[in-house]
């Protein structure tokens, strides 16, 4: 993707109505261009040989090749393509698995169009995004499986990391202030610094970035 060029996206979902409806809605976004639509992961693998989107919207639950296996194979062969997983609420057990395989985002399929558009833009810009309704699922799974990495010390101060851990627990600024014994203003300053250093724009993105870097503790 070059400067001022549209974000090229492809949609992989076995539901024809969903594919076509999403395509029809996205065509009204001037900075987004739908360049491919496929029914399952195997078709996506073949399609990407000739059509190379910037972002791939990928259903998690598909026949022939599901989103988990497709994410693994796509990241091996086309690592430059950023993947946003689309899921129903009862598929949340796959969240951490697909993120660990290289997916950049996770959205619920019954979310709003504006959420999907925002996610496409965020992921195309190199940031990760997870729908708020599944964020706690990601955190819980992460805490159960991951070994920690102390490379955060090269990016954040110890106090900023303390604040980030509290954000991962879903705490408000007031609650972080009370837990850490610092003022709300200081909490806000730390959060602003965290966002700047991690190049993110909200708490969810900050937490996801930390998880993908193996920084958060149980």
Question: What are the residue boundaries of the structural domains of the chain, listed by start?
Answer: 7-140, 148-212
The number of beta carbons lying within 10 Å of the beta carbon of residue 28 is: 9
Q: Which of 62-76, 92-106, 193-207 bottoms out in mean pLDDT, i.e. has the lowest?
A: 92-106
Q: In this predicted structure, what is the pLDDT of residue 2?
A: 55
**When comparing pLDDT for 19 and 99, which is higher?**
19
Give, rounded to a whole angstrom, the gap between the first and last alpha carbons of the chain. 38
Mean of pLDDT values over 94-112: 79
Query: What percent of the chain is modeled with pLDDT above 70?
Result: 86
Q: Which of 4-18, 139-153, 154-168, 187-201 bottoms out in mean pLDDT, i.e. has the lowest?
A: 139-153
Q: Which of 63-72, 80-89, 121-130, 140-149 bottoms out in mean pLDDT, i.e. has the lowest?
A: 140-149
In angstroms, the CA 97 to CA 68 distance is 7
Name the nearest CA neighbour of 192 among 183, 204, 201: 201
Whether residue 41 has pLDDT greater than 50: yes
Q: Which of 82-91, 155-164, 174-183 bottoms out in mean pLDDT, i.e. has the lowest?
A: 82-91
Mean of pLDDT values over 180-190: 93
DSSP 156: S
Q: In this predicted structure, what is the pLDDT of residue 128?
A: 79
32 three-state secondary structure: strand
In angstroms, the CA 192 to CA 156 distance is 12
Q: In this predicted structure, what is the pLDDT of residue 186?
A: 94
Q: In this predicted structure, what is the pLDDT of residue 170?
A: 79
Whether residue 115 has pLDDT greater than 90: no
Tokens of 79: 């690592």
Average per-residue pLDDT in the chain? 85
Whether residue 218 has pLDDT greater than 50: no
- 148-212 folds as Arc Repressor Mutant, subunit A (1.10.10)
| DSSP bridge pairs for 206 | none
Q: In this predicted structure, what is the pLDDT of residue 135?
A: 59
pTM for the predicted model, two decimal places: 0.64
Q: Which CATH number fits domain 7-140: 3.40.50.2300, 2.170.150.20, 3.40.718.10, 3.30.360.10?
A: 3.40.50.2300
Alpha helices in 146-214 (DSSP H): 158-168, 173-180, 184-198, 203-212
DSSP 70: H
Taken in order 165, 125, 213, 65, the sign of the CA dihedral is positive
Name the nearest CA neighbour of 38 among 2, 6, 7, 13: 13
Q: In this predicted structure, what is the pLDDT of residue 109?
A: 82
**When comparing pLDDT for 10 and 113, which is higher?**
10
The answer to whether the CB of 42 falls within 8 A of the CB of 64 is: yes
Q: In this predicted structure, what is the pLDDT of residue 143?
A: 53
- pLDDT interval class at 184 (50, 70, 90): very high
Mean of pLDDT values over 39-58: 94
Q: What are phi and psi of 15, to 5 degrees?
A: -90, 110
In angstroms, the CA 172 to CA 99 distance is 25
């Amino acid at each position: 993707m070059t400067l001022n060029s549209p974000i090229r996206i492809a949609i992989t979902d076995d539901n024809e109505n969903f594919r076509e409806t999403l395509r029809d809605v996205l065509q009204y976004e001037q900075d987004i261009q739908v360049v491919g639509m496929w029914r399952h992961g195997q078709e996506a693998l073949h399609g990407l040989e000739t059509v190379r989107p910037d972002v791939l919207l990928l259903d998690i639950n598909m026949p022939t090749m599901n989103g988990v296996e497709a994410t693994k194979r796509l990241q091996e062969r086309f690592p430059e393509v950023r993947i946003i997983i689309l899921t129903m609420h009862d598929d949340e057990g796959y969240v951490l698995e697909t993120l660990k395989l290289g997916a950049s985002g996770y959205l619920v399929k019954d979310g709003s169009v504006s959420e999907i558009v925002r996610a496409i833009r965020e992921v195309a810009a190199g940031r990760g995004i997870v729908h708020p309704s599944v964020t706690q699922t990601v955190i819980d799974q992460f805490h159960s499986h991951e070994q920690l990495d102390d490379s955060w010390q090269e990016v954040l101060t110890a106090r900023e990391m303390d604040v980030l851990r509290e954000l991962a627990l879903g705490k408000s600024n007031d609650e972080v202030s009370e837990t850490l014994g610092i003022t709300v203003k200081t909490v806000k300053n730390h959060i602003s610094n965290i966002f700047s250093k991690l190049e993110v724009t909200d708490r969810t993105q900050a937490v996801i970035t930390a998880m993908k870097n193996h920084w958060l503790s149980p």
